């Protein structure tokens, strides 16, 4: 079945129960709203967000140190579990401040001698994408603010050499020389109307874009988006919590048929500060949906999308002159999705690309000139994520639904072609974090009625060790009479096959009629019928089935 149809309407869940039925588990402790939300009975544990280190043998994560009132950065040996505290959070005290900063996010320098630390974050639209950044030197313990000027900083990134850090402030792009401490403003037209290095509401909502600038591989240029929303009319929201009177909040927002923000992509030469604008065509009513450096300091790869969002053109642009050319296009009568799967390999001579051109999302290998070298995956199923490329071994690792739309399994396929091989083993859902050397992967595995567990595996699928388990929660579910959901499929009047699951009461009688609660999310890109742990909502469905 076409993946677009499935992702749009595949979320159908049924929880049914007999009203007034006799208690079937008098000796058991049932699943209740109180137990779900007011106790830790069903609270699952998980692995903190991890970043693999460059050697592929260790990963790092942030750990709360309650005794010190701080956050530490910890490294753990993947195979042995041996831990090393790399950054003692209590020492992260800026000059003139008495309390340490908390680590909310971090980025390693290429040589892993410095950390760019993100803290005191604030919301912008849906996510906390503005805050304060510091550079921390591991050898000396020195903590330096990226900037002391007024205003929040956004999307700070270390240069490839690690001696500069760039960031966005007040819709302009700045660069700080870490050695000299000199801060340089690179764009000067940022305002409420002109946005440099980040995005308006439409680009976040429709295209998932927030961070709008990139260092070149050699650090000599910066590429960035610029949006001009001067033609957008305001949509007024009401802040009813404002005191003493409600306030109107104007939001530049293009309704259907109204102009979008005008968008262009430029490159800034670090030595001169000069800006070169890329040639993305004469039609202003477009989206520049993706942009990255094309595995080269001299070229950008840009994805240009039409307003109807049913055609994407992949372009190469010269970073110095702005000249561009279209490599190839993806087009559909209805809609074309945009994603982040474009991945350069083999020194930039080839790249990987995902497409739904045959009705399912599959992976393709392209030459740099835009010609297809080969289709790597095929079949009546979808690739969900591209997880890693092992160029040395010649493998591409990906997660797919080959076992059914409710399943997500890890596979690998040869870059030179061949049949895909399944790597993960248990039925259910596997969420993968592969090491950069493709020697190990972290697998968070669950099923609909099985709480998640996180394990480390060798690249061939062999289990190395368990990192996090939730056996106690699983045992409480059994004791509480949790019922396995029954998965089923049905066809709609127009012939589309949809998936669903149903929870029946323990004393279900097929000859009787039951009230039904139907749960469905109709929005695109959010599949709700999966053989995966559903958290509190799933437990609530179980409680309803038990209560009747």
Domains located in the chain, CATH noted: 3-42+487-547 (no CATH), 49-184 (2.130.10.10), 186-338 (2.140.10.30)
CA distance 166 to 183: 9
Name, in order, each residue with C-beta under 8 angstroms of 174's C-beta and a sequence gap of 6 or more.
147, 166, 167, 168, 183, 184, 185, 186
| Dihedral Cα 193, 315, 391, 358, nearest 10 deg | 110
307-342 residue pLDDT tens: 999 999 999 999 999 999 999 999 999 999 999 999
CA distance 285 to 197: 20
Q: Is the pLDDT of residue 24 over 60?
A: no
Mean pLDDT of all residues in 459-478: 96
**Three-state DSSP class for 154?**
strand
204-241 residue pLDDT tens: 999 999 999 999 999 999 999 999 999 999 999 999 99
77-126 residue pLDDT tens: 999 999 999 999 999 999 999 999 999 999 999 999 999 999 999 999 88
Query: What is the per-residue pLDDT for 408?
Result: 98
CA distance 397 to 404: 18
Query: What is the per-residue pLDDT for 106?
Result: 98
pTM of the model: 0.92
Higher pLDDT, 323 or 548: 323
Q: Is the pLDDT of residue 18 over 70?
A: no
DSSP 320-359: TT--EEEEEEEE-SS-----S--EEEGGGTEEEEEE-TTS
Q: Is the pLDDT of residue 476 over 50?
A: yes
User: Predicted confidence band at 155 (pLDDT cuts at 50, 70, 90)?
Assistant: very high
Higher pLDDT, 27 or 389: 389
The answer to whether the CB of 334 falls within 8 A of the CB of 4 is: yes
Mean pLDDT of all residues in 165-176: 98
Residues of the chain with pLDDT > 90: what percent? Answer: 90
Query: What is the per-residue pLDDT for 119?
Result: 98
Q: Among the listed ranges 14-18, 38-42, 286-290, 470-474, which one has the minimum average pLDDT value?
A: 14-18
Q: Is the pLDDT of residue 11 over 60?
A: no
**Three-state DSSP class for 202?**
helix
The answer to whether the CB of 61 falls within 8 A of the CB of 37 is: no
User: Predicted confidence band at 448 (pLDDT cuts at 50, 70, 90)?
Assistant: very high
Query: What is the per-residue pLDDT for 435?
Result: 97
Number of residues assigned to the chain: 548
Higher pLDDT, 512 or 314: 314
Q: Is the pLDDT of residue 22 over 50?
A: no
Name, in order, each residue with C-beta under 8 angstroms of 128's C-beta and a sequence gap of 6 or more.
104, 121, 122
Query: What is the per-residue pLDDT for 449?
Result: 97
> Rounded to 5 degrees, what angle do the CA atoms 260, 262, 263 make?
120
Name, in order, each residue with C-beta under 8 angstroms of 26's C-beta and a sequence gap of 6 or more.
none
DSSP 290-318: EEEE-SSTTEEEEEEEETTS-EEEEEEEE
446 exposed, middle or buried (CB, 10 Å; 0-12, 13-18, 19+)? buried
> Rounded to 5 degrees, what angle do the CA atoms 137, 141, 146 make?
50
Taking all residues of the chain, what is their mean pLDDT, rounded to a whole number?
93
Please give the helix or strand (H or E) that residue 506 lies within, else none: none
Query: What is the per-residue pLDDT for 468?
Result: 97
């Amino acid at each position: 079945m076409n993946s677009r149809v499935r992702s749009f309407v595949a979320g159908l869940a049924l929880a049914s129960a007999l009203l007034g039925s006799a208690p079937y588990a008098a000796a058991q402790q049932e699943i209740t709203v109180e137990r779900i939300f007011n106790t830790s009975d069903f609270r699952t544990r998980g692995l903190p967000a991890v970043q693999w280190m460059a050697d592929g043998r260790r990963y790092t994560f942030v750990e709360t140190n309650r005794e010190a009132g701080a956050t530490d950065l910890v490294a753990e040996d993947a195979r042995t579990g041996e831990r090393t505290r790399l950054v003692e959070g209590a020492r992260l005290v800026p000059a003139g401040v008495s309390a340490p900063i908390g680590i909310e996010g971090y980025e390693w320098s290429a040589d892993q001698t410095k950390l760019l630390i993100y803290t005191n974050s604030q919301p912008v639209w849906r996510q906390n994408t503005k805050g304060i950044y510091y550079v921390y030197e591991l050898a000396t313990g020195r903590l330096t603010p990226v900037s002391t000027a007024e205003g929040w900083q956004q999307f700070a990134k270390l240069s490839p050499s690690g001696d500069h850090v760039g960031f966005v402030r007040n819709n302009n792009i700045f660069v700080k020389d870490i050695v000299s401490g000199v801060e340089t403003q690179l764009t000067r037209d940022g305002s409420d109307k002109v946005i440099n290095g980040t995005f308006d509401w439409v680009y976040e909502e429709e295209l998932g874009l927030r961070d709008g600038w990139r260092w070149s591989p050699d650090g000599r240029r910066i590429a960035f988006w610029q949006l001009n929303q001067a033609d957008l009319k305001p949509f007024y929201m009401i802040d009813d919590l404002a005191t003493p009177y409600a306030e109107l909040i104007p939001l530049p927002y293009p309704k259907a048929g109204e102009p979008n923000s005008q968008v262009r992509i430029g490159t800034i030469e670090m030595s001169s500060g000069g800006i070169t604008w890329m040639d993305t065509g004469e039609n202003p009513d477009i989206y520049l949906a993706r942009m990255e450096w094309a595995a080269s300091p001299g070229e950008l790869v840009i994805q240009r999308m039409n307003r109807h969002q049913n055609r994407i053109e992949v372009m190469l642009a010269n970073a110095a002159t702005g000249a561009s050319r279209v490599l190839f296009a993806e087009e559909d009568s209805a809609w074309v999705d945009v994603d982040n799967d474009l991945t350069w390999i083999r020194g930039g001579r080839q790249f990987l690309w995902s497409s739904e051109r045959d009705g399912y999302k599959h992976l393709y290998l392209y030459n740099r000139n835009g010609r297809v070298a080969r289709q790597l995956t095929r079949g009546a199923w979808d690739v969900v994520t591209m997880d890693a490329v092992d160029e040395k071994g010649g493998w591409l690792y990906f997660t797919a639904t080959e076992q059914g739309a409710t399943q997500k399994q890890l596979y690998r396929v040869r870059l030179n072609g061949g049949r895909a091989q399944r790597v993960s083993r248990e039925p259910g859902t596997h969420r993968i974090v592969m090491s950069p050397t493709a020697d190990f992967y972290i697998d968070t595995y669950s099923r609909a009625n099985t709480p998640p567990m996180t394990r480390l595996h060798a690249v061939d699928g062999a289990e190395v060790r368990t990192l996090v388990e939730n056996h106690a929660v699983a045992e409480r579910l059994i004791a509480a009479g949790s019922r396995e959901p029954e998965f089923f499929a049905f066809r709609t009047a127009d012939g589309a096959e949809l998936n669903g699951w149903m929870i029946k009461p323990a004393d279900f009688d097929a000859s009787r009629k039951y009230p039904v609660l139907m749960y469905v999310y109709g929005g695109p890109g959010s599949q709700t019928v999966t053989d995966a742990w559903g958290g509190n909502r799933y437990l609530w469905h179980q409680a309803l089935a038990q209560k009747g």
